[in-house]
Amino acid sequence: MRYSLIPAALLAASLVGAVPTTPSLDTLGSQGLIPSVAERVYDSVHKWWSSEEVSGEDIYQGIKIGSVRQDGVLYDTLTHPSHPEYRLRITSESHRAAHPAICDPDVKQISGYLDISENKHLFFWFFESRSSPSEDPLVLWLNGGPGCSSTTGLLFELGPCQVAKEGKDAKVNVTDNQYSWTNKANVIFLDQPVGVGYSYSDDEQVNNSPAAAEDVYAFLTLFVGKYSKYRKNDFHISGESYAGTYLPNIAHVIHNENKRLLSMSASARPLPILNFKSVLIGNGLSQPDIQFASVPEYACDSEYAVYEDPQGSECTSLRSKMSRCENLAKSCFKTNSKFTCVPAELICWNGFGQLQDLGLNMYDTRKKCDRSEDADGPLCYRQMGWIEEYMNSQEVKNALGAPKDVKFQSCNMDINRNFLFNGDVMRETSLLMVPLVNEGIRLLIYAGVRDLMCNYIGNEQWVDVLPTKYNEEFMNSTATPFIDSDKKETGYVRSAGKGAGNVAFMAIYDAGHMVPQDQPVASLDMLQRWLDNKPLAHGK
């Protein structure tokens, strides 16, 4: 797919501190454009230059802006020489005006794509805060998988609306989520890697988290380069499940790039510095050896055990499988080779086979699961099918600027396999957080206690041994009740450091893998206290 660009000479700027000027219609005419085309170009450029997000002092060195009509949609574009392989493509103001806002029409929302080397295209959907957009933090949300769309997190967990009525009527099939994280933050939902959700590729795919992290960083810098009013807001990255692998990689790239930019004089910085504050991971996978080894303890010995007899044959078999898994995972860490890591992955996930045979929802053991397509579906949540129905309606695609031929999938199993067979699942990504935490980036690990896939025991155990300068304080910390705004005890908290903690762990009762869906009040309270850097536990 080739871009149909308006002439670059008309739309490019290479400015440092100079207030840009809009080209006149006479200038456009001198470029050989017929009058009707020149008028449309003039209108597009004028709207871009005069928009509230772009001002002279916010144009970074070498930034280029433009406009493109692609698949029948008019987009504004942004490129920068520091990211020569990337282009930010945003649905234009005129397009958004022609298509009434969906999901939450009362707040500003933006959608579009990060184009990568003309072949890969990452979809994003952004919502301003319902409270104070100019002051509230900017938060990135990612779902896991690998291969699951962050839009499912938007429409099922923490976004401003949720899919209802099986997703079959785009006009009436969403309900307001009064506990949305957008109550307290400006939130970006990014479908990554390519091939997930509305994100698509002409002929390429991503199969590892470090490469995905580079794409995400390029997106973030271009986004705040365009929307400068969020640049000074605190910035946090968050997600669940395989985001426990994605996010440490992304945090590592952001932190290193920030340090590189800070080493330059302010006038020489080609890119904005992200005001990066923290990482929040829910029921994530970050330390495979410890987390897989904890499965028998959870399944057989905990108060949430799924086997009645901790000494029975099922538990004996599970302990044996996970012991072998743990040893292979450690070998993977030493070699960092897919030839060691892929076998480790296969052995470890094989241990879950007998647990799936129990007929339970692995993400919430309080529930049974019929995985047939006409029942709960392969992921045990029929709402995933509703989301696909909704997102594949032409009305929604038109509103969000998604190509007609892109098929939205809640989870793409081909992407999942690509990551699996590259050995990415078995990486020790928790250690990427150590230098960041030591240098002031805060870390919150939270987990619903009824999740069997990424259980809370294993998550707490790896935080216990994370070798930061706060390790001893965290190891000596005691569990303190978490009291939500409804005055209910909905979990416990351990932390080390100041305020909400430089390192913190929170277990959430009566919740599975998807905490914001199961415990919306506690989830929103947790978010606000963390963003405000105030103690998580009530009365602490």
Note the pLDDT tens digit of each residue in 79-117. 888 888 899 999 998 898 888 778 998 999 999 999 998
- pLDDT, residue 26, reads 36
Does any domain span residue 471? yes
- pLDDT, residue 377, reads 83
CA pair distance 333, 144, nearest whole angstrom: 21
Looking at the DSSP bridge assignments, the partners of residue 79 are 64
Does any domain span residue 222? yes
Q: What amino acid occupies position 296?
A: P
CA pair distance 520, 103, nearest whole angstrom: 18
CA pair distance 466, 384, nearest whole angstrom: 34
- pLDDT, residue 173, reads 65
* H and E: helices and strands count for the chain: 20, 18
The pTM assigned to this predicted structure is: 0.87
Which letter, b or e, does each residue of 438-453 get, where b requires 16 or more Cβ atoms within 10 Å of its Cβ? eeebbbbbbbbbbbbb
SS3 504: strand
Query: How many angstroms separate the Cα of 175 from the Cα of each of 104, 161, 164?
Result: 9, 5, 6
CA pair distance 137, 143, nearest whole angstrom: 19
Place of tokens 């009509």: 69
CA pair distance 124, 424, nearest whole angstrom: 24
Does any domain span residue 119? no
Lowest mean pLDDT among 20-34, 82-96, 114-128, 468-482: 20-34
Any alpha helices (H) in 51-118, and if so which ranges? 93-98
Per the structure, the complete domain to which residue 485 belongs is given by 101-110+127-286+372-411+427-540
Does any domain span residue 32? no
**Angle at Cα 469 formed by Cα 498 and Cα 278, nearest 5°?**
55
| Contact criterion met (CB below 8 Å) for 124 and 219 | yes
Cα atoms in the 13 Å half-sphere on the side-chain side of 251: 33
| Contact criterion met (CB below 8 Å) for 142 and 152 | no
Structure tokens at 273: 């510095």
Furthest-apart CA atoms within the chain: distance in Å: 85
| 169-218 pLDDT, tens digit each | 555 567 889 999 999 999 999 998 888 899 988 776 777 888 889 999 99
- pLDDT, residue 45, reads 38
- 379-389 mean pLDDT: 88
CATH number of the domain that 522 lies in?
A: 3.40.50.1820
Q: Which residue has the higher pLDDT, 348 or 467?
A: 467
Measured between alpha carbons, how far apart are the two ends of the chain, in Å? 56
SS3 403: coil
Highest mean pLDDT among 89-103, 344-358, 513-527: 513-527
Give the confidence band of 483 by pLDDT, cuts at 50, 70, 90: very high
Q: Which residue has the higher pLDDT, 31 or 68?
A: 68
Does any domain span residue 389? yes
| Contact criterion met (CB below 8 Å) for 363 and 451 | yes
Lowest mean pLDDT among 31-40, 257-266, 313-322, 468-477: 31-40
The proportion of the chain whose per-residue pLDDT surpasses 90, expressed as a percent, equals 61
CA pair distance 256, 126, nearest whole angstrom: 25
Q: What amino acid occupies position 532?
A: D
Q: Is the pLDDT of residue 48 over 80?
A: no
| Contact criterion met (CB below 8 Å) for 197 and 121 | no
| 218-239 pLDDT, tens digit each | 999 999 988 989 999 999 999 9
Q: Which residue has the higher pLDDT, 72 or 491?
A: 491
SS3 461: helix
DSSP assignment of 9-41: HHHB---SSPPP-PPPHHHHHHTT--HHHHHHH
Q: Identify which of 503, 500, 436 has the alpha carbon closest to the alpha carbon of residue 470.
A: 503
Domain count, the chain: 1
CA torsion 533-535-536-539 (nearest 10°) is -150
Lowest mean pLDDT among 104-108, 116-120, 329-333, 395-399: 116-120
SS3 257: helix
**Angle at Cα 143 formed by Cα 499 and Cα 482, nearest 5°?**
30
Place of tokens 């986004």: 223
Does any domain span residue 48? no
Q: Give me the active site residues, please.
A: 241, 451, 513
Does any domain span residue 300? no
CA pair distance 123, 132, nearest whole angstrom: 25
Does any domain span residue 431? yes
